Structure 1
Amino acid sequence: MPKPFTYCCLLPLLLGRGPALAAPAPADTVATVPRLTVGLASATRTTYLQRAPEPAEDKGYFGTTLTYQAPKGFISSLYLNHSYNYQKLSEPFINYGELMVGWQAVGNTDTYWTVQYTRLFVYGESALVQSSLRNDFSASITQFFSFATASFSADVFVGSTHDVVLTLDLSHRFQLPVLGHDTLSIEPTVELGAGSQHFYTASLATTSWVKTKKRGGTTLVTNEPAAPAFSTLGYTLSVPVTLTAGRFSVAATPSYLLPLHVPAGGYSTSFFYFTLGVSRTFW
């Protein structure tokens, strides 16, 4: 399941793979996996599983990611999110986070895979669509062809709501030399998502006080829209433009999200948004 904040932290790894590396290189020429990466990302809208809050509740976000990758395949990361909708000092400055551990393929091959467990946590009141999610068990596989890159991922969410989401990405990367070993890449990408939406209907739930028959008392009732059956979630079209210079990478990504099969009361309007990310690899 691609996420904007993990894209910037895994960028140095993925840029080292691709159609040009379809044939495995000799063992003594294979580059070591970057071991520590710090990524920063800012976006004009907050999206998750091709769902987004209402524009009035979403001004975008600033995210920070710290990723550790061991040469043998172990990977872990910590992500912290600050919403630009932050208005009061009493609100948590960090309103959302993720802690991930997993295992990934290493070496120069034309197939890349990962298996991961992610713990999601939300601070205080949150308008984020993923606020009911707590645990994510996921696996993904990416195949680098000579003409395109295809990636498929599956996520199983367990928490106060339970969901299964499948994601397919297709992209083609154009790489241009800039100065020395620096490169500029442009990678048009289309993403198709499908799955259940209990997490989203939970974020749309409203509460109201209803009178009871006992002595004119009241009780709090939660009203949640019906969750659609397993169906397509939408399409995302994006064009990441990435400059890689040594251990630094800067990525600017315009995106267009077209949501499908949105539950009643959800935000169903397609929209453009923009993400800017920068990462620095150490060691």
Structure 2
Amino acid sequence: MRFIFLLILISTTSFNVQAQQDSVKKTTLTLATLYNSNVSYYGQTTDEKLPYILGNATVRFPIGLYLSAGAYKLLNYGSGLSETDIGIGYDYNFNEKINTTLAYTRSFFPANSPLLQASNENNINLSINYKWKWLQSSLSTDYAFGKENDIFISLTHSKEISIGSLFNEKNILSIEPAFELIAGTRHFYETYTIEKNKRNNSHGKGKGPASSGNSNSTSITTVASESFNLLSYNFKLPLSLSRASYLAEISYQISILGPKAEADLKPQQSFFGVAFYYQF
């Protein structure tokens, strides 16, 4: 997930620290923990706020291959884990300006999951990054499949800006504002609305959120559009503090949905997150 995030969505956890310059020829292990105020699926959120915490471990090998495993927990829904995932990927650097990543992630969701992405358990990602003189651009394509099949294309422009140091010259402060456009299909939404109806009907049986506040609400099952449309505009502003082997980050994101978004999704949403990464 770049989304998931992560994105993901996050499909895998990655970050920029000074230690990466010295770790090209050795195997590294990166551990990450993250909190976010709401789940975002390519800039889209449900009508119910779902804050969560996430944990991830990624092993990178000198040949460019990496393996990852992660899990996250929705803080206001159920008692167990809300999703777990495993992934494999490969990074290749053509030169100092161009690099590509190919990755596959398999996610596991509990029954009646409230997540938009729960119908697409598999994700294949191909991304190309190019470093211009003043900024970095990334073109990413995701094929998400499982109960449904969806394609997403993301175009991101970002600029890393060094602010200075904190406490001493080894602690580097930086910001990396980014603007992202995401287009794709919406087949996943059909399964989401069906599962939402099931959850609404099962309230009072221990399967719903701990406190949803809208147990009397109803939803209409909408057949997802077959067309490929603009899904969201996203602006991100992360502030990070990095040293040789760790990075701490706070971030803010605002997402605005495209003109053909489903009525059950919030047209505009803000996200706040904190994260910590440590590399061995």
Q: Give the TM-score band, short-chain normalised.
A: 0.7 to 0.9
Distance 1:231 1:5, change over 3 A: closer
Identity %, equivalent residues: 21
Q: How many residues align?
A: 253
Q: Equivalents in 1 of 2:26, 2:233: separation in Å?
A: 32
Q: Which sits farther off after the overlay, 29-38 or 181-190?
A: 29-38
Give the letter for the 1:182 counterpart: N
Match of 1:84 among 75, 79, 90: 75
SS in 1 for 2:265: coil
Q: Give 1:99's aligned residue.
A: 86
> Match for 2:53 among 46, 62, 67?
62
Give the 3-state SS of the residue equivalent to 2:86 in structure 1.
Answer: strand
Match of 1:187 among 170, 176, 195: 176
Matched residue, 1:51: 44
Are 1:198 and 2:187 counterparts?
A: yes
Query: Cα distance, 1:262 vs. partner?
Result: 4.9
Give me the whole-angstrom Cα distance separating, in 2, the residues matched to 1:136 and 1:5. 11
Rounded to whole Å, the distance in 2 between the matches of 1:237 and 1:279 is 22
Confirm or deny: 8 A CA contact 2:231 2:261 kept in the other structure: no
TM-score, structure 1 normalization: 0.81
Q: Do residues 224 (structure 1) and 215 (structure 2) align?
A: no
Which residue of 133, 157, 161 maps to 1:170? 157
| CA distances 1:104-137 after superposition (whole Å, capped 9, x unpaired) | 1259722221101110110232111011111111
CA distance in 2, matches of 1:247, 1:271: 33
Aligned to 2:30, which of 19, 37, 49?
A: 37
Structure 1 unaligned regions, length at least 5:
18-28, 210-221
- 2:222 alignment partner AA: P
CA contact (8 A) 2:17 2:243 kept: no
Query: Amino acid of the residue matched to residue 189 of structure 1?
Result: A
Following superposition, the deviation at residue 168 of structure 1 comes to 0.7
Deviations 1:210-242 (A, max 9, x none): xxxxxxxxxxxx963132311000111111111
Conserved in 2, the CA contact under 8 Å of 1:12 and 1:34?
Answer: no
Whose Rg is larger?
A: 1
Q: Distance in 2 between matches of 1:113 and 1:105?
A: 5
Corresponding residue of 2:147: 160
